[in-house]
């Protein structure tokens, strides 16, 4: 049985077994130092000098107070005080572990100096006994930045040489290099563009499509006709078989382009996908096509909607499959015509000859062996299989027609197989060395490059959205700029690696009266992508208007 007696514990034994618990409360709020408020070293010196003058004037009578601007003596006194603060907050004294390998002496102002081998030289005191400074302190960082800026944003070696005449900074090279690397102005000129791995070819360039089913379109020119009249070339490029079709127009309007587009469709067939840049005439044609009620058209016909795709603004290399052929057309015309002036019909004939030459170029390797197969050309797929002989004079029956049709189908399939193995096989072989570059992310501050501006005038932008390619890399971003939101490829962006505390400095360094109209000469980029500020007056074309300053008498 359990005993029923009451239990009385011994208090001395219980108290001896108790663990002692100590609760400590610490204040985690960091006190703001006066030298952390200012980013400029001269401004810090000036403000602290005025504080010292105010304190001195409060201690004397009114007749003995100092007035006027800060003197050199007051400025030197302030600099000694700031250096002393940096030393006292970083070093425990001359016996500090970081100063053991140096011969430290303390001068009459309480500053730690280093004794050098030039102590017997008749020279300045700061040169013979430089002041020791810590490597990581806000005051030292501002001092190095001020020296860097006053020397015309010189490099690391020049800044180090100049500073060593007065100061001995621990971890000299690392400290100066860090400040120079984070310099706001230097980043504008030293930043490098973002590089991404070579993108895989788009599906529209690789799929088994008909000739000109996937088309790229662009304008080239102007060319001058007789009578000093201008004309432009409209180039239609097959994305798969690399064939071209050239049309000549006398204007860049949407109506003129639509007329050339109708002629192209009548001769080459209706495309299913059209690629182009953001030219106003091309955007206008796309807007007109969008107005068509394609559901009604599909009910009464077999016509499919044209899928019009635009490459990003300021990224002509995204349309490389037609830009490359534009260069070939220009080179042929430049060599053939020279300074010759032609009329419209003559120039149109020259373009037809140029089209025939380019469509007859070899796409695959041209062998010296006569027994090898003939190289593939775009014209082979334009005309499929060239007919030889005179079939209308031959005696044809049902059996021979079927054999002939099967023969043509077999030749067509053989051409497609050769195209896949010989031409597409060449496209796999591409090597390009990619240097490592920082990955771009939302919130980054970047420079937006432009071929029509000097680098100092390039606008700043903040990344607000990124678009990931099918291979997982970021090649297109949306930016917020002073004039609105725009799209830009990453190859046009120069990352600045700016922290939150430096963003205000970059905004001060941005050119005040420059608008973001980067190098793509198409005005549609400004019309459809750039959004102006709501308070700024704009024209019906989206251009910003200057407010009229009236003279009030």
For residues 127 and 185, state if they share a domain. Answer: yes
Q: Is residue 426 part of a domain?
A: no
Angle, to 10 degrees, between the axis of helix 156-163 and the axis of helix 172-181? 130
Q: Is residue 414 part of a domain?
A: no
Q: Look at the chain and report how many structural domains it folds into.
A: 3
Angle, to 10 degrees, between the axis of helix 138-150 and the axis of helix 172-181? 70
- Predicted confidence at residue 69, as pLDDT, reads 87
For residues 272 and 325, state if they share a domain. Answer: yes
For residues 207 and 294, state if they share a domain. Answer: yes
- Predicted confidence at residue 553, as pLDDT, reads 38
Q: Alpha-carbon distance 476 to 465, whole Å?
A: 9
For residues 244 and 165, state if they share a domain. Answer: no
Domain that holds residue 323: 203-367+374-382
- Predicted confidence at residue 366, as pLDDT, reads 65
Three-state DSSP at 478 gives: strand
* Segments in 207-303 forming alpha helices (H): 254-268, 280-290, 294-300
Q: Alpha-carbon distance 468 to 316, whole Å?
A: 19
DSSP secondary structure letter of residue 203: G
For residues 173 and 291, state if they share a domain. Answer: no
For residues 173 and 218, state if they share a domain. Answer: no
For residues 306 and 213, state if they share a domain. Answer: yes
Last residue of a domain, one of 487, 502, 517: 502
* Segments in 22-165 forming alpha helices (H): 41-59, 72-90, 125-128, 138-150, 156-163
pLDDT in tens, the chain (553 residues): 455 666 666 777 777 666 666 666 655 555 667 778 888 888 888 988 998 889 888 988 888 888 888 888 888 888 888 888 888 888 887 777 787 778 878 888 888 888 877 767 777 777 778 888 888 888 888 888 998 888 888 888 898 888 888 888 888 888 888 888 888 788 888 888 877 777 777 778 777 778 888 888 888 878 888 888 888 888 998 888 888 899 998 888 878 888 888 888 888 888 888 888 877 666 766 676 666 555 555 554 456 677 888 888 878 888 888 888 888 888 888 888 877 778 888 888 888 888 888 888 887 766 666 566 677 778 777 765 444 444 554 555 555 556 655 666 666 666 666 666 666 666 665 656 666 666 788 888 888 888 888 888 888 888 888 888 877 788 888 888 888 888 888 888 888 875 444 454 445 445 544 433 333 333 333 333 333 344 566 665 556 666 665 544 3
Q: Is residue 221 part of a domain?
A: yes
Q: Is residue 399 part of a domain?
A: no
- Predicted confidence at residue 318, as pLDDT, reads 82
Q: Name the pTM for this structure.
A: 0.60
The answer to whether 276 and 308 have CB atoms below 8 angstroms apart is yes
- In the structure encoding, which two tokens stand for residue 477, read together? 């971003």
The answer to whether 134 and 91 have CB atoms below 8 angstroms apart is yes
Peptide bond between residue 222 and the one before it cis (omega within 30 degrees of 0): yes
For residues 185 and 53, state if they share a domain. Answer: yes
- Predicted confidence at residue 467, as pLDDT, reads 86
DSSP secondary structure letter of residue 544: B
Q: Is residue 14 part of a domain?
A: no
Q: Alpha-carbon distance 273 to 50, whole Å?
A: 71
Best CA proximity match to 213, nearest among 307, 328, 285 = 307
Q: Is residue 249 part of a domain?
A: yes
């Amino acid at each position: 049985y359990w005993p029923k007696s009451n239990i009385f514990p011994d208090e001395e034994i219980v108290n001896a077994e108790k663990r002692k618990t100590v609760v400590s409360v610490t204040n985690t709020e960091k006190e703001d130092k006066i030298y952390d408020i200012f980013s400029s070293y001269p401004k810090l010196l000036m403000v602290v000098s005025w504080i010292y003058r105010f304190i001195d004037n409060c201690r004397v009578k009114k007749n003995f107070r100092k007035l006027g601007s800060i003197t050199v003596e007051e400025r030197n006194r302030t600099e000694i005080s700031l250096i002393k603060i940096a030393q006292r907050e970083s070093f425990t004294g001359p016996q500090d572990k970081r100063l053991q390998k140096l011969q430290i002496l303390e001068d009459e102002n309480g500053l730690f100096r280093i004794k050098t081998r030039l102590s017997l030289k008749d020279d300045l005191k700061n040169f013979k006994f430089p002041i020791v400074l810590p490597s990581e302190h806000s005051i030292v960082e501002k001092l190095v930045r001020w020296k860097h800026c006053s020397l015309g944003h010189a490099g690391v070696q020049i800044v180090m040489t100049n500073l060593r005449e007065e100061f001995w900074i621990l971890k000299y090279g690392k400290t100066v290099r860090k400040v120079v690397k984070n310099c706001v102005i230097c980043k504008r000129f030293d930043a490098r563009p973002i590089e991404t791995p070579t993108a895989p070819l788009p599906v529209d360039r690789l799929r088994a499509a008909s000739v000109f089913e996937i088309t790229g379109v662009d304008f080239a020119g102007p060319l001058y006709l007789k009578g000093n009249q201008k004309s432009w070339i409209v180039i239609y490029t097959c994305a798969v078989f690399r064939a071209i079709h050239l049309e000549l127009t006398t204007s860049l309007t949407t109506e003129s382009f639509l007329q050339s587009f109708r002629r192209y469709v009548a001769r080459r067939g209706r495309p299913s996908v059209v690629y182009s840049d953001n030219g106003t005439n091309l955007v206008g044609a796309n807007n007109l096509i969008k107005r068509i009620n394609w559901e009604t058209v599909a009910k009464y016909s077999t016509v499919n909607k044209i899928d019009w795709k635009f490459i990003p603004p300021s990224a002509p290399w995204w349309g490389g499959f037609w830009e490359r052929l534009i260069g070939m057309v220009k080179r042929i015309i430049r060599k053939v015509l020279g300074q010759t002036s032609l009329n419209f019909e003559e120039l149109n004939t020259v373009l037809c000859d140029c089209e025939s030459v380019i469509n007859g170029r070899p796409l695959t390797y041209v062998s010296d062996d006569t027994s090898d197969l003939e190289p593939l050309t775009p014209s082979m797929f334009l005309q499929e299989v060239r007919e030889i002989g005179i079939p209308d004079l031959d005696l044809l029956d049902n059996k021979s027609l079927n054999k002939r049709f099967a023969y043509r189908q077999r030749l067509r399939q053989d051409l497609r197989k050769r195209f896949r193995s010989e031409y597409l096989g060449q496209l796999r072989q591409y090597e390009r060395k990619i240097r490592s570059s920082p990955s771009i992310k939302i919130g980054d501050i970047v420079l937006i490059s432009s071929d029509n501006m000097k680098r100092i005038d390039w606008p700043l932008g903040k990344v607000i959205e990124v678009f990931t390619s099918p291979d997982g890399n970021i090649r297109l971003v949306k930016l917020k700029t002073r004039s609105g939101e725009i799209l830009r490829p990453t190859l046009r962006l120069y990352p600045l690696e700016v922290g939150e505390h430096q963003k205000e400095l970059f905004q001060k360094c941005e050119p005040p009266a420059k608008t973001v109209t980067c190098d793509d000469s198409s005005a549609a980029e400004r019309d459809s992508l750039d959004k102006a500020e709501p308070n700024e007056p704009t024209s019906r074309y989206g251009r910003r208007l200057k407010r009229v300053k009236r003279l009030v008498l």
